Amino acid sequence: MATRLRKTRKLRGSRTHGWGQVGQHRASGHKGGLGVSGQLKHHFSSMLRDNPDHFGHDSTRPPHSNDAKRWAAVRDLGDLYERHGREEGGRRIVDLRAAGYDKLLGGGSPGGAYAVIVDRFTPSAAKKVSDAGGEIVGQDDAGAQEIRVEGDG
């Protein structure tokens, strides 16, 4: 490779190699940063000219709810009873509404008969709780009316 014919060989000793004052063509310091840096500071006027909608929100986008949903599984009823449960008339009652849970899911097995108060529940959760001799008061996945699912016990 004939490196002796390249422009760099001719520019040896010239300090800036044709890039003007010392410091130009070095990183990005002379232009105020890389990319979109300084949009609210020293590049503000450029931002207003080139991309005036860069900051702010899009008002046509509908707002979304940030309400976090909490679920509990059937396997957790024992622990939830110890923390949030009460006993009335010989029945163990777990009030998931008061504990902040929105829905009872059907994972696991209940490990006892519980009367569960919850806003929503799955069909498998209702079957498992009723098979264990408990009951659920709330709305099922499809229904809008409040229903009561009771077991054998």
DSSP string covering the chain, please?
--GGGSHHHHTTTSSSTTSSSEEEESTTGGGTSSTTTTTTTTTHHHHHHH-TTSSS--TTSPP---PPP-EEEGGGHHHHHHHHEEEETTEEEEEHHHHT--EEE--S--SS--EEEEEEE-HHHHHHHHHTT-EEEEEESS-SS-EEEE---
CB 110 within 8 A of CB 92: no
Question: Taking the domains of the chain in order of start, what are their residue ranges?
Answer: 3-50, 71-150
**pLDDT value, residue 68:** 74
Q: What is the mean pLDDT of residues 76-96?
A: 90
CB 106 within 8 A of CB 75: no
Per-residue model confidence as pLDDT tens digits over 121-138: 999 999 999 999 999 887
Per-residue model confidence as pLDDT tens digits over 113-123: 999 999 889 99
For a pLDDT cut of 90, what percent of the chain falls above it?
39
Q: Is the pLDDT of residue 9 over 80?
A: yes
Q: Which fold has domain 71-150?
A: Ribosomal Protein L15; Chain: K; domain 2 (3.100.10)
Per-residue model confidence as pLDDT tens digits over 10-49: 999 999 999 998 888 888 888 889 989 999 999 999 999 9
CATH class of 3-50: few secondary structures
Tokens of 18: 């044709």
C-alpha 81/C-alpha 99 separation (Å) is: 10
- State the pLDDT confidence band at 90, using cuts at 50, 70 and 90: confident
Tokens of 22: 């010392």
Total-model pTM: 0.52
**pLDDT value, residue 2:** 78
Tokens of 142: 């499809």
